[in-house]
Amino acid sequence: MASDSREKLLTVENLEMSYGAVQVLWGISFSVNKGEVTCIIGSNGAGKTTTLNAIAGAGRIQDGRILLGKEDITTLSAQARVERRISLSPEGRRLWPGMSVEENLLMGCFLPAFRKRAGSNLARIYDLFPRLKERRHQMANTLSGGEQQMCAIGRALMSEPQLLLLDEPSLGLAPLLVEEIFRMIREIAAQGVTILLVGENVNYTLQVSSYGYVMEVGRITLEGPSSTLANNEHVRRAYLGM
């Protein structure tokens, strides 16, 4: 784990998870510094999505623990983690197709504490994603892939996260849209939101993050400043095509 003295918002210690008889995570440990973008990179099936689901409370943990600041949240429900302002934008977007953009966004603030500020939070999301404001009455299933991704991230932001979990936000998008999504990730981070990013586009992911972890077959095999990982021979060969 990163050993600097900066404040850690999230600490994962010796986390193990299985799906039935198949073990997916093998005692992984890492941390996320407050106010920074931290990334996890690795090939498909490495356990990255499982890790984010575990942090969000959407998976059953076999062993290890998860700390938010100094609070142990390992056994808390997903709702209790949202109340503590942990928010997940999942792989595949998972919007409600027969609901409008605005209805999907409002589903992100279903808890009473956030519902009271739904109007101001919507305004903030529309400032960040002007295209969503233009399409706020449009059904989610009629949006382009990039617009759907903006809606998924916007929905996650409606619960005012201190920790935003982004799972493959650029997956399947055209190059110009990938650039736009990562520009918006930078903007969200600049507003003080701590981000844990799982990225299929390793080049952009390492550019936008300050620290990174490489996950392979359910284990953390490398870590370091993102600029260092970008120049690591193994990372360049395995993930950057160099």
**Which tens digits make up the pLDDT trace of 155-168?**
999 999 999 999 99
Which conformational region is residue 46 in: left (phi greater than 0), alpha (psi within -120 to 50 degrees), or beta?
A: alpha
Instruction: State residue 204's pLDDT score.
Output: 94
Phi then psi dihedrals of residue 162, to 5 deg: -90, -25
Say if 5 falls within a structural domain: yes
Q: Is the pLDDT of residue 201 over 50?
A: yes
Q: Is the pLDDT of residue 114 over 90?
A: no
Radius of gyration of the chain, Cα coordinates, nearest whole angstrom: 17
Instruction: State residue 122's pLDDT score.
Output: 93
Q: Is the pLDDT of residue 113 over 90?
A: no
Q: Would you tell me the crossing angle of helices 175-190 and 145-157 to the nearest 10 degrees?
A: 10
Instruction: State residue 48's pLDDT score.
Output: 95
Number of domains in the chain: 1
**Which tens digits make up the pLDDT trace of 207-234?**
999 999 999 999 999 999 999 999 999 9
Q: Are strands 211-216 and 37-41 parallel, antiparallel or unpaired?
A: parallel
Say if 178 falls within a structural domain: no
Helix (H, G, I), strand (E, B) or coil at 46: coil
Instruction: State residue 3's pLDDT score.
Output: 45
CB-based contact 119:109 (threshold 8 Å): no
Say if 179 falls within a structural domain: no
Say if 198 falls within a structural domain: yes
According to DSSP, the residues that pair with 18 across neighbouring strands are: 23
Say if 128 falls within a structural domain: no
Instruction: State residue 5's pLDDT score.
Output: 61
CATH number of the domain enclosing 1: 3.40.50.300
Model confidence at 199, pLDDT cuts 50, 70, 90, reads confident
Say if 222 falls within a structural domain: yes
Model confidence at 177, pLDDT cuts 50, 70, 90, reads confident
Cβ atoms < 10 Å from Cβ of 230: 20
Domain extent at residue 78: 1-85+164-170+194-242
Instruction: State residue 4's pLDDT score.
Output: 56
Say if 109 falls within a structural domain: no
For the entire predicted model, the pTM comes to 0.92
Say if 41 falls within a structural domain: yes
AA identity, residue 59: G
d(CA 199, CA 115): 30
d(CA 71, CA 69): 6
Phi then psi dihedrals of residue 28, to 5 deg: -80, 145
